[in-house]
Structure 1
Amino acid sequence: MKLGIISALHEEQEGLVEAMQGPQKAIHGMRDYWTGKLGAVDAVCVLSRIGKVAAAMTATSLVERFGVTHILFTGVAGSGDSGVKVGDIVIAESLVQHDMNASPLFPRFEVPLTGQSHFLTDVQMSARLAHAAAGFLEHDLVNAIAVEERKEFGLQAPRLHRGLIASGDQFVHQKSQLGAIRDVLPGLLAVEMEGAAVAQACFELGVPFAVVRTISDNANEDAATDFMRFVKSVAARYSYYIVRRFSQA
């Protein structure tokens, strides 16, 4: 395995490059790609920036230029279900682009000429990722997240979920937005802006992939409140510990 690790924001990948053995930087397409050893795995870390095009471009470059064999996307997402709370972890089993609509030429959500609407993650990678996330929640959370941050964000007993994540080029921050997406995508757990684009790129390139998201908000009118504080003080720690456990498995 040569693992490509993508995050949209610098804070979501904080600490991973520093944890690499012998990191080397290469610049390509206005992005810094860091190659090195992460635990037992050869890895390449990169920030995609926000949005579907940026994410798909980054995933393609990882494969075509840096020779990665597997891709892991880690970052934050908004909750897509009332049972998914801030601080919970969602591991994708499938991903869909909620803003893809080429009907009536193609069914809604289907990516034209692929025959796919819901892109399935790699079963083995996702199982390994779930094991890493469960280990983090059980063993690392208390020491990884400061007490005041756990209180501030109500991280009482974060849970692990597996299922559907939807991606689109919009920051979902209104109940009406989320409601419209949920109405047409039963079983939705989380909404974000990159995962399904990475999924499409990996599908077309034949590369196994997995996606893990920390729930940062409820995808409503309060979604932007203390968002960056959460990313820096909570989500960054989640990603660091989960990816480290994944790379050591």
Structure 2
Amino acid sequence: MIGIISAMHDELAELLDILQDKKTVVLGNREYHTGNITNQKVVIVFSKWGKVAAAITTTQLISSFKPTKIIFSGVAGAINPTLNIGDIVYGTSLIQHDMDATPLFPKFEIPLLGKSTIETIVDEKLYQCVEEFNNQYYEYVSPEEANEFGIKSPKIIKGIIASGDEFISDNIKQKQLQNDIPDLQCVEMEGAAVAQVCDEYKIPFHIIRIISDKADHSAHIDFPAFTKQIASKYAKGILENYCS
């Protein structure tokens, strides 16, 4: 069974629509939806926003459903200036940008784990599905929808993703993150927490983030519209193919 997590319902709404033999159980005030996508057993859950919410969801998911791997899909703000709205970041490692236990531990290091970043597990099939989606982009997202959000020729970048309990929306914070974590691609609020839980439970973890904004003063976007019209189509296109 594959566990699939997103922070918001609309990010996986279209994937949930094609879930066959769906059963829903409520645990910890969250709905866990089990079923099949093609012939693959999955459990889909919406974690809510933030690191604590994501960690709670992931721990419950692992304990109750015993997934063989977990995939997180959702939106993020760009830190790499070459990233544009609609681009895809395939996460290779994750860091908590608000983790700072100095002087007891170096900045960003997770206390008692002895590391600042958590690597994701390489999954060539998943990355291939991301590439196939991008190559056939307009089979999933209409030109009109893409134009509405200024999406032009979306690209894929592999790299580090940062998480923190803060919505990044100003240039000063963006520049600080660029200086502190030079190879940082994008920022969000859940992924590194999920990665830490998966690391401690020895569960393979993968993450795909769709760029919804530039994480600066231009971060004022219609998130409900973007997640419903754009991000949900990315998740369905990539993960339906992955499960086939």
Scaled by the length of structure 1, the TM-score of the pair is 0.95
SS of equivalent to 2:56: helix
Tell me how far apart the structure 1 counterparts of residues 109 and 168 of structure 2 sit (CA, whole Å).
21
Q: Give the match for residue 133 of structure 1.
A: 130
Tell me how far apart the structure 1 counterparts of residues 228 and 156 of structure 2 sit (CA, whole Å).
20
Contact 2:75 2:211 in 1 (8 A): yes
SS of equivalent to 1:15: helix
What code does the residue aligned with 2:48 have? R
How many pairs align? 244
Q: CA offsets, 1:193-241, max 9 Å, x none?
A: 0000000000111100100000000001121222322111111111111
Q: Tell me the CA shift for residue 17 of structure 1.
A: 2.1
Q: Give the match for residue 237 of structure 2.
A: 241
Q: Tell me the CA shift for residue 150 of structure 1.
A: 1.3
SS of equivalent to 2:160: strand
- What RMSD in Å do the two structures reach over aligned CA positions? 1.0
Instruction: Tell me the percent identity.
Output: 41
Deviates most, 146-155 or 18-27:
146-155
SS of equivalent to 2:209: strand
Alignment of 1:96-245 (within 5 A): 96-124=95-123, 127-139=124-136, 141-245=137-241
> Does 2:47 align with 1:57?
no
The gaps in structure 1 that reach 5 residues or longer are none
What code does the residue aligned with 2:92 have? E
Q: Give the match for residue 24 of structure 1.
A: 23
> Does 2:76 align with 1:80?
no
Q: CA offsets, 1:100-135, max 9 Å, x none?
A: 0001101110110111211000112xx222111110
Q: Give the match for residue 89 of structure 2.
A: 90
Tell me how far apart the structure 1 counterparts of residues 58 and 227 of structure 2 sit (CA, whole Å).
22
Q: CA offsets, 1:9-29, max 9 Å, x none?
A: 010011222212201111100
SS of equivalent to 1:58: helix
Tell me how far apart the structure 2 counterparts of residues 94 and 147 of structure 1 sit (CA, whole Å).
32
Tell me how far apart the structure 2 counterparts of residues 144 and 84 of structure 1 sit (CA, whole Å).
21
Q: Tell me the CA shift for residue 146 of structure 1.
A: 2.4
Tell me how far apart the structure 1 counterparts of residues 135 and 8 of structure 2 sit (CA, whole Å).
26
Q: Give the match for residue 45 of structure 1.
A: 44
Deviates most, 155-164 or 33-42:
33-42
Q: CA offsets, 1:154-186, max 9 Å, x none?
A: 222100110100000001000111111110101
What code does the residue aligned with 2:80 have? D
What code does the residue aligned with 2:135 have? E
Tell me how far apart the structure 2 counterparts of residues 34 and 232 of structure 1 sit (CA, whole Å).
19
Q: Tell me the CA shift for residue 33 of structure 1.
A: 0.4
Q: Tell me the CA shift for residue 147 of structure 1.
A: 2.2
What code does the residue aligned with 2:62 have? V
Tell me how far apart the structure 2 counterparts of residues 21 and 153 of structure 1 sit (CA, whole Å).
31
Contact 2:15 2:232 in 1 (8 A): no
SS of equivalent to 1:123: coil
Q: Tell me the CA shift for residue 243 of structure 1.
A: 1.0
Q: Give the match for residue 12 of structure 1.
A: 11
